[in-house]
Amino acid sequence: MRGHIRIVRGHPAEIESATELFRADEIQFDEDTGDLRAEGHVYFRSFTRNEQLWCSRLEYNTEDETGRYYDVRGETMPRIVARRGVLTGNEPFHFEGQWAERIGEKYILYHGWVTNCKIPNPWWHLKGQRFDIIPADRSISHQAWFYVWKMPIFYAPYFYHSLEKHPRKSGFLIPNLVPHSQRGPMYGIGYYWAINRSYDLTYRFQDYTSQALAHNIDFRAKPRAGTSFGAIIYGVQDFGAPGYTGPLNTYSGMNIYAAGTSELPDGWIARGYMNYTSSFRFRQYWSQSYNDAIGSEIHSMGSVAKNWSTYTFDTIFDRTQNFISTEIPETNPSTGAVSFLSDAVAIHHLPEVEFSSRDHPLLNNIPLWFSFDSDAGLLSRYDPLFNNNNVLVYRYQTSQAVSRLNVSPRLTSALHLGDFHLVPSLGLDETFYSQSQTQVNQAAVNETGAPLQDVSPTERINELLNQAFVRSARDFRLDLIFPSFARVFNKKTILGDKLKHVIEPRVTYKYVTGIGSDYNQVVRFDTMDILSNTNELDLSLTNRIYAKRGGTDQEIFTWELIQARYFDPTFGGALITGQPNIFATTADITAYTFLTGPRTYSPIASIFRASPVPGTGIQWQADYDPRFGRIVDSDISVDYRWSPKYRISVGNDQLRNDVLPAANQYRARFDYGDANRRGLNAGIEAVYDIQAHVLRYTTAQVTFNTDCCGLSMEYRRYNAGIRDESQFRIAFSLANLGTFGTLRKQDRLF
In angstroms, the first-to-last Cα distance of the chain is: 63
Residue 168 pLDDT: 66
Statement: residue 335 has pLDDT above 80: no
Q: Quote the CA–CA distance of 104 and 272 in Å, as a whole number.
A: 48
Q: Determine the pLDDT at residue 290.
A: 80
Q: Say whether pLDDT at 385 is over 80.
A: no
pLDDT digits (tens, 9 = 90+) for 547-574: 998 888 999 999 999 999 999 999 999 9
Task: Determine whether 133 is exposed, middle or buried from the number of CB atoms within 10 Å of its CB (0-12, 13-18, 19+).
Answer: buried
Q: Provide the whole-model pTM.
A: 0.81
Domain membership of residue 237 (yes or no) is no
Q: How far apart are CA 60 and CA 68, in angstroms?
A: 6
Q: Is residue 393 scored above 70 in pLDDT?
A: no
| pLDDT, tens digit (0-9, with 9 covering 90-100), for 95-132 | 999 999 998 778 899 999 998 888 888 999 999 999 99
Q: Please state the rounded mean pLDDT for residues 46-67.
A: 89
Most confidently modeled of 170-174, 180-184, 499-503? Answer: 499-503
How far is it, in rounded angstroms, from Cα 101 to Cα 132?
10
Q: Tens digits of per-residue pLDDT, 198-229?
A: 999 999 998 887 788 999 999 999 999 999 99
Q: Which residue range is the domain that position 158 belongs to?
A: 5-169
Higher pLDDT, 240 or 320: 320
pLDDT score recorded for residue 163: 62
236-244 contacts, C-beta under 8 A, 24 or more apart = 236/212, 236/282, 236/286, 237/212, 237/213, 238/211, 238/212, 238/286, 239/211, 239/212, 240/211, 241/183, 241/210, 241/211, 241/212, 242/184, 242/210, 244/211
Residues paired with 653 in a beta bridge: 635, 665
The predicted-structure confidence for 342-366, as pLDDT tens digits, reads as follows 778 999 998 999 999 999 998 888 8
Mean pLDDT of 633-655: 93
Asked whether the beta carbons of 594 and 603 are under 8 A apart, the reply is yes
With a cut of 70, say whether residue 694 has pLDDT above it. yes
Residues 426-476 have pLDDT tens digits of 999 999 999 999 877 644 444 444 444 444 444 567 788 889 999 999 999
- Give the pLDDT confidence score for residue 454 in this predicted structure: 45
In a domain, residue 683? The reply is no
Q: Which residues contact 614 (CB under 8 A, 6 or more apart)?
A: none
More confident residue, 178 or 644: 644
The per-residue pLDDT of the chain, averaged, comes to 87
Query: Do the domain assignments include residue 278?
Result: no
For residue 293, is pLDDT > 90? no
Give the pLDDT of residue 1: 56
Q: In this structure, what DSSP letter does residue 750 have?
A: -
Whether the pLDDT of residue 189 is over 70: the answer is yes
Q: Report H helices in 538-580.
A: none
Mean pLDDT, range 383-405, rounded to an integer: 80
Which of 191, 245, 188 minimizes the C-alpha distance to 212?
Answer: 188
Distance CA 581, CA 698 (A): 36
What's the pLDDT at 441? 64
The answer to whether residue 657 scores a pLDDT higher than 90 is no
**CATH code, domain carrying 20:** 2.60.450.10
3-state secondary structure of 243: coil
How many helices (H) and strands (E) in the chain? Answer: 3, 45
Decide if pLDDT at 492 tops 50: yes
Which residues make Cβ contacts (< 8 Å) with residue 541, sequence separation at least 6?
503, 504, 505, 506, 560, 561
Examine residue 482 and state whether it is found in any structural domain, yes or no. Answer: no
Residue at 394 is within a domain? no
Q: How many domains does the chain have?
A: 1
Q: 242: pLDDT confidence band, cut at 50, 70 and 90?
A: low
Give residue 78's pLDDT band: very low, low, confident or very high (50, 70, 90).
low
CB 592 within 8 A of CB 659: yes
Pairing of strands 679-689, 694-705: antiparallel
Q: How many percent of the chain have pLDDT more than 90?
A: 54
Q: Residue 724: inside a domain, yes or no?
A: no
Mean pLDDT of 246-273: 91
**254 domain-assigned:** no
Asked whether residue 684 carries a pLDDT value surpassing 80, the answer given is yes
Instruction: Assess whether pLDDT exceeds 50 at residue 529.
Output: yes
Cα–Cα distance list, 653 to 284, 598, 600, 694 (Å): 22, 28, 27, 15
DSSP state of 746: G
Residue 55 belongs to a domain? yes
Mean pLDDT of 497-525: 94
The pLDDT value given to residue 572? 93
Share above pLDDT 70 across residues of the chain, in percent, rounded to a whole number: 91
Q: What's the CA gap between 726 and 474, in Å, rounded?
A: 57
pLDDT at res. 449: 42
Q: Is the pLDDT of residue 81 over 60?
A: no
Q: Closest by alpha carbon to 402, among 438, 437, 433?
A: 433
